[in-house]
Amino acid sequence: MREDKLGGKKHGMVLIISVGKKGDKDPAHVADLDEKKDEEKDVKKATVDEILQEAKTMRGAGDRMSADKFENTAQMMQRPNEFEEGLQRRFSQPAANLLNEPDISQLLYEEGKESPDYIEAKGDKEYMGLSTDDRKKFLQLMSQMSRQKQQIPDLEREGEEGLARLKEEDPTKYFADEPFRKAWEFLKGY
């Protein structure tokens, strides 16, 4: 590495002294790499509410295109939760109702085909006194729910990728200003 002189004003000069072997990374750029790593970690920290608030602000300022980008990203981030709620509403709740135990809906959703109720109903034709049609309906609901649950990781990945793209584009410099906003919020607390 070499030493560079910067400045040149009458009142003084700035000298950068580099430490390291010849060929090491330029110290000015090493800091940039660290910031990029930190930014990648921060991508997941933005919440849907924060993104929607920024979209509202942009829409109020007349920047419809940026507002649409923020709203679309927020919708992508919400999709997995909405999808899970829909699965519970369409499959696990009716399955729990067939067993006359509506309180176990969440448990049936979490366990899926590994649920003791599903396993026993599959092997026992008279499980819990269910009619043949109700038993078949219960097994179908649980099977359909398990198949559709497999889409959730893809939806989560799409939301994360959408947020990463938005952060990369950063049309409103929202993410670039984030440290200043956090500092301001901290100071407002005093």
What is the domain partition of the chain in residue ranges? 45-169
Residue 21 above 60 pLDDT? no
Residues whose CB is less than 8 angstroms from the CB of residue 47 and which lie 6 or more positions away in sequence, other chains included: none
Residue 20 above 70 pLDDT? no
Handedness of CA 42, 45, 48, 50 (dihedral sign): negative
Q: What is the pLDDT of residue 40?
A: 46
Confidence (pTM): 0.63
pLDDT interval class at 43 (50, 70, 90): very low
Selected residue with higher pLDDT from 180 and 17:
180
Share of the chain above pLDDT 70, in %: 69
Among 44-58, 70-84, 111-125, 150-164, the least confident range: 44-58
Q: What is the pLDDT of residue 167?
A: 85
pLDDT interval class at 82 (50, 70, 90): very high
Summarised one tens digit per residue, pLDDT across range 134-144 is 999 999 999 99
Q: What is the pLDDT of residue 66?
A: 86
Q: Residues 77-109, buried b or exposed e (16+ Cβ, 10 A)?
A: bebbeebeeebbeebbbbbbebbeeeebbeebb
Helices vs. strands in the chain: H and E counts, helices first: 9, 2
Among 4-18, 66-80, 99-113, 156-170, the least confident range: 4-18
